[in-house]
């Protein structure tokens, strides 16, 4: 027997104190009232008279004493929250690692989630020696301590999320390490670690992939890509529902064969934009977290673009593809400050900073934007801030940049760099006007023929449109740029999510699927948190040996309630018999 709320020695001390107190009260001498009588003759005859004493009369005081001691003893034991020591429990220092992958949210046949079974097993394994508990996502969450209630509270504050690798050097000296898992996620577990399973096969239907792509040939149109999987031995029918904001764009029943993966492409109008939510209705499966997925689209609005260039056929052709952009090409001599929309300066720049949003492509030195040093020749695209709209999703490893200018970028925010540290893309917001600078010529090298070319131009336009870039992540700790000032769940009426600053990054704990919006000086960043994946949603398969499956026993932490109930029954019986003068 082990105790969850108190140590064994403390329970023993409280029990001894309760027995001593109950005994002192029971044997306390009662001062009887004095009664004045005229004669003792009658009382002597009664007391001297011999009569038979029944067995119950001989033992009823002992029974009353036993009940008087038993009731407080049961209450003390209940306060300690006793549990039966689990099979295979160990003595000595113990380290317990719990698998925190999202498959641990799957429901078992006994109604508990695998995570609940794992945490109950971890507490059952803990004895009176020091115990340290870790999860594969959060590291150490409790211990080393012998206080099991502290460990219980620590486990209540964590939940499954995207796991990391199996913790390194987790064992204690001369102690044991136990890993509790369902075996769905694969870990590199050391040979000396004992593995215990909470796996029990379960059927599951899931959205394993969800993404949104803009249709550049049609203004305001997007395409949603959805992948649905049925991880079950039997076929099933589910209803796929897709909403954009409050507008439903798709609802259709999908027939899924056993272990079948179905992919669908759904074109739709962006309208006012907002959260795109896909969900499965009627799934009725073991894992609810992957029955929905999220994405984000901005509102559809055509843009006017003035292209100031002598000639740039690749850029002109690319801008003409996007039906949402109205392009007007002019010669540098025709440029005037008046006008609406965005202006793109290709290898030319005005003598003073423009008063409307502008993209500058390899501009010559001008009074408001000069060079700081010699240009870098044969530059390579090395790194970029992938969270910023202007350079999101660009793979520039195949770009051949003949020359990258070294501009004086005081007040600018560099976003992409060459291998030698020369800024390749930078942005600036001054006086309510936004500027973007590309320090290399788009007509030289292989840039016009590289896949990164249309992505770069599209990203720059998206940044000026104010379209929030979207990152799709799994639930868990999410790394954000250091300049994030606020993070909130989209649609939440009040309250922001806590942020942790660690050097040049910000950490946010996002464990609920949905869309979150981060506020930055350079614009918003949308984070779509989705739980479904091909590997994690298949909760019917495990990498563990068949002999290890479903090894974790059911928790016995509810024993304290039975002790309290028994104490109340005993107390009620004693109260009734005492009033009937059956007991003393």
**Average pLDDT of the residues in 4-18:** 74
Q: What DSSP letter does each residue of 561-574 carry, written as one string?
A: HHHHHHHHHHHHHH
Mean pLDDT of the chain: 84
| Residue 88: pLDDT band with limits 50, 70, 90 | very low
CB 349 within 8 A of CB 364: yes
Examine the pLDDT at 302 and tell me if it is beyond 80: no
Mean pLDDT of all residues in 108-135: 86
More confident residue, 212 or 254: 254
Answer whether residue 369 shows pLDDT above 90. yes
Q: How confident is the model at residue 553 (pLDDT cuts 50, 70, 90)?
A: very low
For residue 62, give the 3-state DSSP assignment. Answer: helix
Is 90 exceeded by the pLDDT of residue 261? yes
Per CATH, the architecture of 303-465 is what? 3-Layer(aba) Sandwich (3.40)
Say yes or no to pLDDT of 2 above 70: no
Mean of pLDDT values over 37-56: 70
Position 551 pLDDT exceeds 50: no
**pLDDT by residue (tens digit) across 336-354?**
887 778 899 999 999 999 9
Q: What are phi and psi of 7, to 5 degrees?
A: -75, 160
Contact 122/96 with Cβ under 8 angstroms? yes
pLDDT of residue 481: 79
Highest mean pLDDT among 47-61, 229-243, 373-387, 452-466: 229-243
C-alpha dihedral (95, 97, 98, 100), degrees to nearest 10: 140
Q: Among 191, 201, 195, 193, which residue's Cα sits nearest to residue 177?
A: 193
For the entire predicted model, the pTM comes to 0.61
pLDDT for 65: 84
- Quick one: pLDDT at residue 501? 86
- Is 303-465 in the same CATH topology as 204-298? no
**Is residue 217 predicted with pLDDT exceeding 70?**
no
Percent of the chain with pLDDT over 70: 87
DSSP string, 334-402: G--S---SEEEEES---SS--SS-EEEESPPPBTTB-B-SPPEEEE-EEEE-TTSGGGTT---TT--EE
> What are the tens digits of pLDDT across the range 495-545?
788 898 887 788 999 988 999 988 877 567 788 999 999 988 999 988 887
Residues 6 or more apart whose Cβ sits within 8 Å of residue 333: none
Q: What is the domain partition of the chain in residue ranges?
A: 2-84+562-579, 94-201+539-555, 204-298, 303-465, 470-529
More confident residue, 264 or 32: 264
Q: How far apart are CA 296 and CA 515, in angstroms?
A: 8
Report, as an integer, the average pLDDT of 416-435: 87
431: pLDDT strictly greater than 70 = no
- Measured CA to CA, the distance from residue 226 to residue 267 in angstroms comes to 11
CATH fit for domain 204-298, picks 3.40.50.300, 2.60.40.10, 3.40.190.10, 3.10.130.10: 2.60.40.10
The more confident residue out of 354 and 556 is 354
Q: Span 50-78, mean pLDDT? A: 79
Is beta strand 94-98 parallel, antiparallel or unpaired with respect to 131-135?
parallel
Average pLDDT over residues 571-584: 80
Written as one string, the DSSP assignment of 417-474 is EETTS-EEEEEEEETTEEEEEE-B-TTSTTGGGSTHHHHHHHHHHHHHHTPPPEEEE-
């Amino acid at each position: 027997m082990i105790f969850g709320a108190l140590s064994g020695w403390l329970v023993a001390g409280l029990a001894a104190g309760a027995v001593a107190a109950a005994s002192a009260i029971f044997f306390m001498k009662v001062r009887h009232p004095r009664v004045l009588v005229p004669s003792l003759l009658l009382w002597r005859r009664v007391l001297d008279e011999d009569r038979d004493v029944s067995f119950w009369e001989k033992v009823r005081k002992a029974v009353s004493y036993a009940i008087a001691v038993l009731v407080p003893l049961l209450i003390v034991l209940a306060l300690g929250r006793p549990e039966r020591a689990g099979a295979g429990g160990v003595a000595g220092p113990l380290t317990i690692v719990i698998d925190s992958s999202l498959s641990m949210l799957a429901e078992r046949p006994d109604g508990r989630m695998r995570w609940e079974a794992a945490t109950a097993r971890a507490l059952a394994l803990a004895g009176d020696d020091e115990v340290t508990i870790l999860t594969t996502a959060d590291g150490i969450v409790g211990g080393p301590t012998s206080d099991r209630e502290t460990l219980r509270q620590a486990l209540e504050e964590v939940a499954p999320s995207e796991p990391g690798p199996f913790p390194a050097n987790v064992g204690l000296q001369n102690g044991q390490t136990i890993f509790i898992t369902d075996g769905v996620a694969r870990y590199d577990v050391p040979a000396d670690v004992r593995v215990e399973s909470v796996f029990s096969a379960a059927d599951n239907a899931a959205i394993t992939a969800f993404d949104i792509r803009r249709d550049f040939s049609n203004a305001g149109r997007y395409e949603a890509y959805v992948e649905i999987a049925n991880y079950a031995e039997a076929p099933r029918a589910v209803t796929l529902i897709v909403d954009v904001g409050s507008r439903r764009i798709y609802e259709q029943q999908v027939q899924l064969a056993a272990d079948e993966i179905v992919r669908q492409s759904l074109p739709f109008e962006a309208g006012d934009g907002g959260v795109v939510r896909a969900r499965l209705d009627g799934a009725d499966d073991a894992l609810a977290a992957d029955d929905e997925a999220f994405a984000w689209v901005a509102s559809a609005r055509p843009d006017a673009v003035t292209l100031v260039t002598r000639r740039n056929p690749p850029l002109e052709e690319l801008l003409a593809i996007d039906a949402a952009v109205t392009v007007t090409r002019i010669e540098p001599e025709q440029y005037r400050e008046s006008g609406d929309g965005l202006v793109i300066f290709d290898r030319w720049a005005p003598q003073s900073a423009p008063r409307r949003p502008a993209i500058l492509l390899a501009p010559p030195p001008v009074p408001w934007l000069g060079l700081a040093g010699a240009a870098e020749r044969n530059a390579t695209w090395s790194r970029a801030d992938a969270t910023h709209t202007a350079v999101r999703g660009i793979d520039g490893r195949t770009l051949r940049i003949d020359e990258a200018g070294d501009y004086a970028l005081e007040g600018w925010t560099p976003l992409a760099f060459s291998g030698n540290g020369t800024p390749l893309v930078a942005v600036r917001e001054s006086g309510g006007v936004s500027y973007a600078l590309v320090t290399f010529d788009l007509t030289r090298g292989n840039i016009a023929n590289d896949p990164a070319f249309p992505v770069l131009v599209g990203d720059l336009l998206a940044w000026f449109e104010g379209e929030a870039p979207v990152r799709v992540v799994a639930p868990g700790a999410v790394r954000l740029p250091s300049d994030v000032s606020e993070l909130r769940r989209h649609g939440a009426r009040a309250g922001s999510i806590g942020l942790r600053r660690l050097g040049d990054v910000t950490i946010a704990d996002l464990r609920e699927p949905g869309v979150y919006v981060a506020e930055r000086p350079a614009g918003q960043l949308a984070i779509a948190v989705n739980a479904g994946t091909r590997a994690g949603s298949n909760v019917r398969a495990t990498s563990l040996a068949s002999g290890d499956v479903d090894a974790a026993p059911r928790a016995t932490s509810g024993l304290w309630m039975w002790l309290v109930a028994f104490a109340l029954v005993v107390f009620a019986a004693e109260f009734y018999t005492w009033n009937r003068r059956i007991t003393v």
